[in-house]
Amino acid sequence: MSRFISRCLQPLPVMTGLALAASAAQAASLDPTTDPHRAHERIDDQKRTRDARSDSTAKHADADKVLAEGSHAPETVTVVGHGFNTLHEPTGLSRMPQDVLHTPQQINVVPQALMKQQNVKSLDEALRNVPGVTSSIGEGAGGMNGDQFLIRGFQAQNDIYEDGLRDFGVYSRDAFNLETVSVIKGPSSEVFGNGTTGGAINMKTKTAGLTDRYAAEFSGGSGSYYRGTLDFNKRLDSSTALRITGMGSENNIVGRDYIYSHRWGIAPSIAFGLGRRTTLVLQYMHQQENSVPDFGVPVVKKPGAAFGAPITEYGIRRTNFYGTNNDQNATNDNMETARFSFRLNKHITFYDDLRGGQYYRTFAASKATCDTTCVNNYFLGNSNAALVARSGPVGAGNGVGPGTYMAPLPYQQTSWSVQNVGSMVADFDTGFLKHQIVAGFDIERVNDVRSQSTYLKAKPYANLVNPNPYVGNLDLVPGEANPGGLVTLGSLGAKPHSNGYGFDTGLFFFDQIWITKWLSVKGGFRWDRWQTSYNLTGGNVAKNPDIHFHNVSSVFNPNVSLVLTPDEHQTYYFTWANSTTPMGMYVTNGSVPIRPGTNSYASPEKANLYEVGAKYSAFHDRIGFTASLFRLEKGNAMNADPVTGEILGSSDRQRNQGLELSVGGMVMRGWNVSATYALYDSDTTSSATKANLGRQVQYVPHNQATLWSVYEAFPDKPYNIAFGGGLTWRQHVWLDAANTMRAPANLDFDAVLSHHFNDHWKIAMNGYNLANRLNYQSLFSNRATPTAGRTFMGQLSFTY
């Protein structure tokens, strides 16, 4: 038995097939030639992360060299670590030069190896492996959709980054160009700027490297799902490479009627100076989609019930779609990125990242509302009279008037953004103290223009039991042609046009000082000047004059950490961090980004994080363990109105505290595991609304867990097979601040079975939601969207 355990704990040889792909992905992520932004970070790694880590770094570098020397990796090489142990994964940001293990904050990484085994196709699917992340489906009369995430219960739709730069677009992000996805938990204003109360999501993209690679995948399955991806990487000379990734996809949703998505994208990149002192990466991303937005089913309170639940919990079919054949979500998104780095000497490296983005969107959706009459008719047996308003709940006042519906009218949105982040990383000594200083600037500008249209004909009601989406031609016209048909924009009047911008200038500085080889203190700050403007024009100007808002605010966000690193395998830390979310943060992805100057609206949201954690890379870096205890406090919280869905300012103070655990790596040869658990204790600690006091924070579950594990048997034999699966579980969550509406618990079982024919070809079969449970993924205060039913997906792939 002892000999067996000893063999299991030895460094693992990389195997062919599934395990080879996972280990190769890890090696590629560690190879400095594959990411020029980290080339000099790896070169200076020994200096930055202390002498205690030099042996581990050297072992990784040797493994990387073996895989980088030719276009085909040998069948067996010795690699320390594994793709599922992400503790040695770089964060992907020059402003956070340490790897995950040595960054004093909870970071959940979804690695490429895991995404391949699960056949992840979108950012949303990748984030289901991260506890504390919830999807929402839009807000208020603005009808925003796309990727709208919450982290630890707090809005994060403005905190989505790609290679450390903001992605301002309102669209569903495909995974075809993603290498890894990281969720950096807690306020991170010193790195990312305004916002980031619950955390930030950073996607590391696939960029050109010096190893030739040609790969393609073809998938098909339930719900008329068809998908193809390609990945072409070509070394042009000793320091230049070209890479092109592409994707085409179309599908329906199992268990949801009339919902479909057609999507395609392409992302070329070219890198110069790989492995040299000066590197430049040029990237372009284009993604286009035409789909039907799914705003789910209404959440209702059954007569006599203690709380409300989705109507599908009371006998209504999960397939019911309460939208119309006029609903659409057409997006066209483009981003151009230039990432530059220059290593001045062994002590100082400069970085400059520049991105421009252009986003176009045509949107029309229906929000199903089952009012008291609808609810009573259904539960009293008069289902024919149970009618659902597809134009949202009834609004009143503020120029809207009783009987007017707070619907998301069709609109066209055009946005553009530009961001430039320059930074310097300096390593030096002052006497016996060793320093790592990160300093720089962040300048960004985002513009948004929207024009609403109206229907001349009323949108018909839908029967709750048997809705019919075919409503015919509703006579769509521009909003200025029918001012009486406009709806309110966040209680600011009925206007057909809106435009706004946000302009941020930020300066950041922090220093990590090693007092001893194993003890360091990290502290710093970020200062931001946030300027925003918002204008509403057109419509009935005599009744509702044009409105112009402008706001300028300066914020200062400090942070400090105490870090202990007894050796190269473990880190212990305590962190305090602060963040601020001023008015107007959600320029492109909020229904109304700026509010009138009342106290609750004018005061920014503020958050404080207290976190103590431990990270340990064990068994020759094969398995990584993390644990953290945190307390997150937030003031002037924004809440969603449970009737209209409008986001309103409040003086509420909210708190979320809890425990987060994770483990990932190789249990033994051929057997990988990734597991997480989160225990949250959240409540509203102060509120002017008595009903909210002491209630659980919206969208925060009490318990949440994920598990994924795959075993590859007979890896070197023609009859090899890899099999496994896992589950995701989330306890019920409350959908409103007063805890009167609730989404039930989610439990999802998935599985995978695969076989590789040789080093190049592989077939796989994935099964999702195998129990065919009625789960809910996208949530809002008065709606919930059922997830897909039991789904199977076959895949054929090759890599050369």
* pLDDT tens by residue, 695-707: 998 889 999 999 9
Structure tokens at 716: 């070197």
Q: Do the beta carbons of residue 116 and residue 22 sit within 8 Å?
A: yes
Residue 647: the pLDDT is 52
Mean pLDDT confidence for 726-750: 94
Give the relative orientation of helices 17-30 and 54-68 as an angle to the nearest 10 degrees.
Answer: 120
**Separation between Cα atoms, residue 525 and residue 578, nearest integer Å:** 9
Mean pLDDT confidence for 736-760: 95
**Domain spans of the chain, in order of start:** 80-625
% of the chain beyond a pLDDT of 70 = 82
Architecture per CATH, domain 80-625, reads as Beta Barrel (2.40)
**Separation between Cα atoms, residue 214 and residue 229, nearest integer Å:** 11
Q: Look up tokens 């950073």; give the residue.
A: 202
The per-residue pLDDT for range 516-550, each reduced to its tens digit, is 999 999 999 999 998 988 888 988 888 888 888 88
Residue 367: the pLDDT is 86
Mean pLDDT confidence for 426-450: 95
Residue 648: the pLDDT is 55
On the question of pLDDT at 60 being above 70, the answer is: no
More confident residue, 143 or 487: 487
Mean pLDDT confidence for 281-295: 95
Residue 139: the pLDDT is 46
Q: Which residues pair with 767 in a beta bridge?
A: 751, 792
Instruction: Specify the long-range contacts of residues 525-528, CB closer than 8 Å, at least 24 apart.
Output: 525/190, 525/556, 525/557, 525/558, 525/559, 526/189, 526/190, 526/191, 526/193, 526/556, 526/557, 527/554, 527/555, 527/556, 527/557, 528/189, 528/193, 528/194, 528/504, 528/554, 528/555, 528/557, 528/580
**What single string gives the DSSP state of each residue in 207-226?**
---SS-EEEEEEEEETTTEE
Residue 541: the pLDDT is 83
Residue 54: the pLDDT is 35
Residue 222: the pLDDT is 95
The per-residue pLDDT for range 623-646, each reduced to its tens digit, is 999 999 999 988 876 655 544 445
- The residue among 781, 773, 666, 669 whose CA lies nearest residue 730 is 773
- How would residue 198 be classed by pLDDT, with cut points 50, 70 and 90? confident
**Separation between Cα atoms, residue 357 and residue 297, nearest integer Å:** 34
Residue 600: the pLDDT is 40
Chain centroid to Cα 581, Å, comes to 18
Residue 82: the pLDDT is 67
3-state helix, strand, coil in the chain (%, to 5): 10, 50, 35
Residue 639: the pLDDT is 54
Which pTM value belongs to this model? 0.86
Q: Look up tokens 């073809």; give the residue.
A: 218
Phi and psi, residue 403, nearest 5°: 90, -5
On the question of pLDDT at 552 being above 50, the answer is: yes
Neighbouring C-alpha atoms within 13 Å toward the C-beta of 72: 7
Instruction: Specify the long-range contacts of residues 550-553, CB closer than 8 Å, at least 24 apart.
Output: 551/582, 551/583, 551/584, 551/594, 551/602, 553/529, 553/582, 553/583, 553/604
Ranking 59-63, 385-389, 438-442, 691-695 by mean pLDDT, the lowest is 59-63
Mean pLDDT confidence for 250-260: 94
More confident residue, 374 or 82: 374
Phi and psi, residue 81, nearest 5°: 95, 180
* DSSP secondary structure code for residue 82 in this structure: -
Q: Look up tokens 């009601």; give the residue.
A: 461
Average pLDDT over the chain, rounded to an integer: 84
DSSP E strand stretches across 90-177: 107-110, 133-136, 149-151, 154-155, 160-162, 165-166
- How would residue 149 be classed by pLDDT, with cut points 50, 70 and 90? confident
Structure tokens at 338: 């230039």
- How would residue 438 be classed by pLDDT, with cut points 50, 70 and 90? very high
